[in-house]
Amino acid sequence: MTEQTVYDFTATTIRGEEQSLEAFQGKVLLIVNTASKCGFTPQFEGLQALHADLKDKGLEVLGFPCNQFKNQDPADDQAISEFCSLNYGVDFPMFSKIDVNGPSAHPLFQYLKREAKGLLGSEGVKWNFTKFLVNQKGEVVDRYPPTTKPEAIRADIVKLLG
């Protein structure tokens, strides 16, 4: 049996189309659960900067809006997409709003949490802007808490990019 990777999952884009994550094969991925009304929302700027600087070298940032933490992303997908684009110039792939914890957690996030545990071995995503770094083989290599700014992950990404 082959080992599972992020490429085994699909997700709905923010425009409502099903997309296989296999489309990102061979790229380094930074997968983030996002929110539009969170203290960490300005991290969109850093995520977009990473994406713009390293996209041509093989990085893809993937944003997954989530409303599970203090109702900080209550809008619909279209409003979230407009907010990210207008306020932060986001042009990296954004997906439809999902749950990252609990019984209805998206299968991708169930997998990410199993592969890269949080503090003291916990699996649950603690807050918005938790980041998962995935190598070119689709394997989860690290997990960063919301307090870790995107710029602080740059060296790890560049190392993976070779």
Positions marked catalytic: 38
Alpha carbons 109 and 104: distance in angstroms, whole number? 10
Alpha carbons 20 and 117: distance in angstroms, whole number? 24
CA distance readout (Å), 76 to 3, 79, 95, 113, 162: 35, 5, 12, 25, 38
Alpha carbons 156 and 17: distance in angstroms, whole number? 31
